[in-house]
Structure 1
Amino acid sequence: MIDDGLLQNRIVDAAFRILIMPDQQAGTLSVHKGTVSQAMDTYIVNIQGNGGHSSQPHKTIDVNMIMAQIYTSLNLLMTREVDSSQSVTLSIGAMGGGTATNIISDKATLQGNMRSYHQETRDHL
């Protein structure tokens, strides 16, 4: 917003941000100097495979298997690609693929976010 000119020709004495914090009791107010929350990057991974009948899985590209591998790999990424002194979180909030027990789906989606205080860490991940 600043890059788009929000503060051009304006004098600003202070800036405030209002957040709802899940660990704070309702009706309380906290004041903090400096950084209070991490930057958040959202991601959506759409997986396209080749669906088919569960009696012939060898003729498919199983998107749910791929989705499970991505889920595991993303969580391992935090332990192998980020210095343990950095505060980084990676959350996967939604996963979905398939509509029936006997059909191997051709599409799956994984959605989540990553949070960090450090731009260099964000850029790396």
Structure 2
Amino acid sequence: MSSAAPRSTCTNVTVRVIRGSAAQGIEFAALQFSNAGKKACELYGYPMATLRLQGKQIGTPAQPATTATSAMKLAPGGTAESRLVDYVSCQAPLSDSVRVVVPGSTIHTVRPAQLRACVLRVGKLGQPE
């Protein structure tokens, strides 16, 4: 019996980073994953997000916000979303981009994003809000 996490079956994925609202000490962004393929596929696990400044990593990679199972089936054109929460309780530098790895995959992209490199958490996959 293997304990390896399931791999996502989505191979043609577009990634969007959408800046969200903020509250005292917290900033939010949405990480959206859209199935650009012609067949349904499934995402498993949590995305990986790492803030960058001038092409170099700053801070530590985001950790899952929960231990709950994270998976979502996507029809062609369907979108899943994971909330990226930045706890801004430090004086770390602001990023100019974020490197996002698609859940359960090695597919990655870098998108513009300005967040403070303090403590990052990613939520489980769900429907876009």
Same fold (TM over 0.5): no
Query: What TM-score does the superposition give when structure 2 sets the normalisation length?
Result: 0.32
Query: What TM-score does the superposition give when structure 1 sets the normalisation length?
Result: 0.33
Higher Cα Rg, which structure: 1
Normalized per residue, the structure richer in strand is 2
Normalized per residue, the structure richer in helix is 1
